[in-house]
């Protein structure tokens, strides 16, 4: 009986560890700064990631050679952006994406040097959580049921398990 | 549970299976098996089909995408290789929507000239690779996009 | 010879712990690589990670239905109650995998296709699989006579087997929003970095399914045994009371 629960404690522990590692990975490498935070307390010199949409009708410059200026919208906030980096087709009007760069508070321009695809990690987390929890719970409930059945059979003294793989406890 | 109730329940469960299989074989699915029509088929529409809500699948023609700021919207062309139709849409397109990719649009071929779309769905292909490989120009074997439109 | 399958099942049951352990190992390694150590896709970004759960769940559910299908044929032919138990076990586990595949698919479809659900042939044929399984499980629950119920259910499962090739080839036969098969005569259209977690999770899900079927078959077997013995015990006490 303790065997079953200690085995599941290990599985639960490993799952939690994985969840914590994933969360940290997300925080360090994928999370973005909101434009409000960027404008009110701009971080010193470090490049930041901001998410928004390229405003329609504002994209100018030569994207194919990696140079562009445009307005970047996130809800009510709007930023002027000067992009200089690898030529990417990700920069197009009405596209939501992540910009990596620095905020120039004197010129009030966000100087971006790279882009990334939006990280909508909520969907990924939802899919993993639902699958892992449903499967984990089902397997756990089944193992517990086997244990209960063996106990019942033993207590009822009705039946001595046969020398058979199905009637045997592992 | 009484025998009568049980019999009813058994009949219901068999009907459930038979019904869903029948749906697959003969029912609506047979007609709706054409999940979307192609631009060539849209062009062949007669006037009475103009008001019907249809789904059209095709590839967004490179260089045809134009956006409008007020009200936010876009126009582009959709092709199946043989025919091309202009599409107009109001709103923000899905994130995976772009030129040179597949899209399925819902709407009406209203006046026989422009397809007025109320919803855009992005159709992505079956190839998956990291950014570095894509930028290095790697092409994985995948089904020719035009063939996915009319198998 | 007639008891060949029965003997094989009993033999494999002995080693079910290995299947469970293997499944846990593969799935944890797959989850780690899938969530942390693999690169995002060039087009879908992080969302490609949903594929590592969705695709293994989906084809494990078709594998589970295949077990149910061939098991039902065998049962109708040989009337082996152990095979009947195995069919019943695969059906309920298949239903879980199918439901999860539909849910994760829906979660993947929203940010990529821009819709939770659409009447796409692949989606419809897969939902029909869930309905067939629902009918199967209902039938088994409602018929008290195990032998009769098993026979009806087996016929139902065999008829429902038509859906399997429809699911498999729906993306090749008809126009769909769902992408075509990544593994086909054209070759493999998934790069190595993304193939590693996908393969690990797939093997993990197959092993997990095998393990779950074995445990569930054992549960059904033990429950039958307990009921049979209790039944005899009750009739014995009844007998002794009336005679004394």
Residues B72 and B140 in one domain: yes
Quick: pLDDT tens for A132-168: 999 999 999 999 999 999 888 878 765 555 545 565 5
Percent with pLDDT over 70 in chain B: 89
Q: Do B42 and B27 share a structural domain?
A: no
* CA-to-CA dists, residue C153 to A85, B24, C65, C132, angstroms: 63, 20, 13, 11
Q: Which of A115-119, B60-64, C203-207 has the highest mean pLDDT?
A: C203-207
pLDDT surpassing 90 at residue A37: no
- Which H, E and C letters describe B42-87, residue by residue? HHCCCHHHCCCCEEEEEEECCCCCEEECCCCEEEEEEECCCCEEEE
* One domain for residues B43 and B117: yes
Chain B contact present for A75, CB below 8 A:
no
All partners of chain B with 3 or more CB pairs under 8 angstroms = A, C
On whether both B24 and B41 belong to a single domain, the answer is no
The answer to whether A118 contacts B65, with C-beta atoms less than 8 Å apart, is: no
Instruction: Determine, for residues B93 and A94 on separate chains, whether the beta-carbon distance falls below 8 Å.
Output: yes
Residue ranges of C 181-210 with Cβ closer than 8 A to chain B: 181-182, 184, 186-191, 193-194
> Does A11 contact C24 at a Cβ distance shorter than 8 Å?
yes
- Six-digit token string for A146: 């086997």
The answer on pLDDT for B68 being more than 90 is: no
**Beta carbons within 8 Å of B97's beta carbon, 6+ residues apart:** B60, B103, B120, B122, C114
User: B69 in contact with A at a CB cutoff of 8 Å?
Assistant: yes
B10 and B64 together in one domain: no
Question: How many domains is chain B built from?
Answer: 2
Residues B26 and B100 in one domain: no
DSSP codes joined into one string, C12-32: HHTTHHHHHHHHHHHHHHHHH
What does pLDDT average to over chain A? 84
B81 — alpha (psi -120 to 50), left (phi > 0) or beta? left
B101 and B117 assigned to the same domain: yes
> What is the distance between the alpha carbons of residues A63 and A58, in angstroms, rounded to a whole number?
13
| Distance (Å) from the alpha carbon of C20 to chain A's nearest alpha carbon | 10
Same domain, B68 and B127: yes
For the stretch B86-131, pLDDT in tens is 999 998 888 889 888 899 999 998 887 899 999 999 998 888 988 8
The whole-angstrom distance between residue B99's C-alpha and the CA centroid of its chain comes to 16
Provide the b/e sequence for A132-170 (b: ≥16 CB within 10 Å).
Answer: bebbeebbbebbebbeebbeebeeeebbeeeeebbbeee
ipTM summary value: 0.89
Residue C238 is predicted with a pLDDT of 39
Query: Domain span at residue B8?
Result: 1-33
Q: Are B19 and B54 contained in the same domain?
A: no
Together in a domain, B22 and B77: no
For residue B127, the domain's CATH number is 2.40.50.140
Measure in Å the smallest separation between the Cα of B69 and chain A Cα atoms: 5
Both B43 and B116 in a single domain? yes
Q: Looking at the structure, do residues B25 and B41 belong to the same domain, yes or no?
A: no
DSSP tag of B136: T
Q: Which residues of B touch C184 (CB under 8 A)?
A: 143
Of the listed ranges B39-53, B83-97, C53-67, the least confidently predicted one is B39-53
User: For residue C226, is pLDDT > 90?
Assistant: no
> For B57, which of C132, C138, C175 is closest by C-beta distance?
C175
Q: Give the 3-state secondary structure percentages of chain A, helix then strand then coil, rounded to 5.
A: 45, 25, 30
Is residue A112 within 8 Å of residue A124, measured between CB atoms? no
């Amino acid at each position: 009986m303790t065997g079953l629960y200690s085995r599941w404690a290990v599985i639960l522990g490993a799952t939690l560890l994985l969840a914590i590692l994933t969360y940290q990975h997300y925080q360090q490498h994928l999370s973005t700064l909101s434009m409000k935070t960027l404008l009110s307390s701009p971080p010193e010199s470090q490049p930041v990631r901001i998410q928004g949409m390229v405003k329609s009708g504002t994209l100018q410059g030569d994207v194919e050679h990696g140079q562009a200026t445009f307005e970047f919208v996130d809800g009510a906030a709007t930023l002027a952006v000067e992009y200089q980096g690898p030529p990417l087709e990700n920069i197009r009007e009405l596209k939501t994406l992540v910009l990596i760069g620095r905020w120039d508070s004197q010129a009030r321009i966000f100087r971006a040097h790279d882009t990334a695809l939006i990280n909508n990690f909520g969907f990924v987390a939802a899919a993993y959580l639902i699958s892992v929890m449903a499967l984990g719970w089902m397997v756990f409930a089944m193992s517990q049921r086997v244990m209960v059945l063996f106990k019942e059979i033993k207590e009822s003294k009705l039946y001595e398990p046969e020398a058979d793989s199905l009637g045997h406890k592992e | 549970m009484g025998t009568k109730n049980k019999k009813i329940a058994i009949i219901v469960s068999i009907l459930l299976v038979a019904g869903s299989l029948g749906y697959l074989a003969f029912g609506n699915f047979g007609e709706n098996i054409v999940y979307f029509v192609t631009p060539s088929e849209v062009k062949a529409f007669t006037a009475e089909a103009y008001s019907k809500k249809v789904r059209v699948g095709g590839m967004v023609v490179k260089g045809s995408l134009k956006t409008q700021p007020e009200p936010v919207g876009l126009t582009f062309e959709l092709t199946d290789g043989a025919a091309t139709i202009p599409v107009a849409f109001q709103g923000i397109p899905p994130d995976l929507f772009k030129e040179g990719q597949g899209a399925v649009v819902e709407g009406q071929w209203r006046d026989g000239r422009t397809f007025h779309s109320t919803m855009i769905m992005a159709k992505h292909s079956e190839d998956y690779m990291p950014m570095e490989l894509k930028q290095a120009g790697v092409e994985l074997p995948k089904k020719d996009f035009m063939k996915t439109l009319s198998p | 010879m007639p008891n060949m399958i029965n003997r094989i099942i009993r033999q494999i049951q002995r080693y079910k712990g290995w299947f469970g352990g293997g499944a846990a190992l593969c799935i944890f390694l797959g989850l780690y690589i899938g969530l942390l150590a693999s690169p995002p896709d060039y087009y879908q970004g992080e969302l490609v990670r949903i594929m590592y759960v969705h695709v293994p769940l989906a084809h494990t559910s078709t594998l589970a239905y295949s077990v149910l299908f061939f098991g039902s044929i065998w049962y109708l032919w040989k009337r082996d109650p152990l095979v009947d138990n195995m069919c019943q076990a695969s059906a309920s586990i298949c239903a879980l995998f199918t439901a999860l595949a539909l849910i994760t698919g829906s979660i993947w479809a929203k940010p990529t296709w821009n819709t939770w659900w659409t009447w796409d042939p692949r989606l419809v044929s897969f939902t029909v699989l869930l309905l067939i399984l629902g009918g199967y499980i209902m039938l088994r629950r409602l018929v008290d006579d195990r032998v009769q119920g098993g026979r009806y259910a087996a016929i139902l499962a065999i008829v429902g087997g038509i859906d399997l090739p429809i699911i498999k080839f729906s993306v090749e036969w008809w126009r769909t929003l769902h992408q075509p098969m990544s593994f086909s005569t054209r070759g493999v259209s998934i790069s190595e970095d993304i193939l590693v977690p996908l393969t690990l999770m797939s093997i993990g899900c197959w092993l997990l399914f095998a393990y779950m079927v074995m445990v569930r078959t054992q549960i059904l077997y033990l429950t039958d045994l307990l009921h049979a013995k209790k039944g005899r015990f009750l009739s014995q006490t009844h007998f002794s009371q009336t005679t004394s």
